[in-house]
Homo-oligomer: A and B are copies of this chain.
Amino acid sequence: MGIPAAIAIDFGGTNIRAALVTAEGSLLHHVSTLTRVEEGVQAVVERMIDLAEQVIAASGAGPEIPVGVVAPGPLDPDAGIIYFGPNLPGWRNVPLRAMLAERLGRRIVIGNDGNGAALGKVMFGAARGCRHLIHVMIGTGFGSGIISHGQLIEGYRGLGAEVGHLSVNPDGPRCHCGGIGCLEAYVSGWALARDGEALAHSGRSEALRRAAAGGPVTAELVTAVAQAGDAAARSIFENAGRALAVGLAGLVNVFNPELIVIGGGVAQAGDLLLDPLKRWLPHYAITYIVDQVRILPSALGTDAGIYGAAARAFLVTGESPPGVVRLD
């Protein structure tokens, strides 16, 4: 007999969200709070427990209902330990699963947020039933998850699949990760803001300088000014779209995927990004492989994390749609 639902926690650097997700994909009893990571590990874990208890109380979920958690940064899904988080100061080798299990008295399942989002898409979302998926979420950073032959690609120690850190140019810009020419250093909120800032200060985009009005140039500003037709701002997206094409082409050649889903805030720029992507992709991918892949934009869903956390809980407890997707 299957479990009817899972409690899902989406643990991010800014917010923590929780909800009950049913096996049919209904999202119920949604609650959220600010993470306030500056208050330390214990305080943040308390907030997760509090949200989970709110969902349990509201839903009447019995102790057989597991809790799925997605978290940022490198973690060990088997051991349930968060190694560290780029946006989680103070988090080093935190045994989050054990901490939650002790207090919540039920099964806890932990996974990376990018991988979770891919699982959520094939179990509940736009890629339902797809066994060969590349999922990228381009927001402030570049998140990703890959499912190949129905297997979530996490790797030897659960640290894959870091698509955002594929180098697409050996002499490209430095990435926050320390790498050179990473996809994220071309296609992310911070990269667009960096390029927009440079444009505004160089005098090459009067429109962008005016829009910033003396404040910082954000990815949203670059997008708005590009959508209004500013050629210089559009060139930022041309550059980003070409870099995205180089990186995704490599993955197409390696994975021969059925579907690429592109979500996240930056993806809301739509054709500004997708047009150069689609134009450049055939230059860097093998024709007979790239011809088979569909590219779908995904609506910006703040629920991607919650569905991902629930998907992992269903999978680990053996409740996935049979044959579609599996964990190791």
A residues apposed to B, CB below 8 Å? 74, 83, 131-132, 146, 148-151, 153-163, 165-170, 177-181, 242-243, 246, 249-251, 253-258, 283-289, 292, 328
Known: A160-B254, A251-B254. 19 other contacts (CB 8 A): A131-B156, A148-B155, A149-B155, A149-B328, A151-B151, A153-B255, A155-B255, A155-B257, A155-B289, A156-B256, A159-B288, A159-B289, A159-B292, A166-B250, A167-B284, A169-B169, A180-B283, A180-B284, A250-B250
Summarize A's interface: helix, strand, loop or mixed: loop
Minimum CB distance partner of A153 in chain B: B148
> In whole Å, how far is A169's beta carbon from the nearest beta carbon of chain B?
6
Contact present for B251 and A170 (CB under 8 Å): no
17 contacts between A and B (CB under 8 A): A132-B155, A148-B151, A149-B155, A150-B328, A156-B292, A157-B256, A160-B289, A162-B254, A163-B253, A168-B170, A169-B169, A177-B286, A178-B287, A179-B249, A179-B285, A179-B286, A181-B284
Q: Report how far A319 CA is from B246 CA in the complex, Å.
A: 39
Q: How far is the CB of A150 from chain B (nearest CB, A)?
A: 8
* Closest chain B residue to A256, Cβ basis: B155
Contacts of A287 in B (CB 8 A): 178
Q: Are B288 and A83 in contact, CB atoms less than 8 angstroms apart?
A: yes
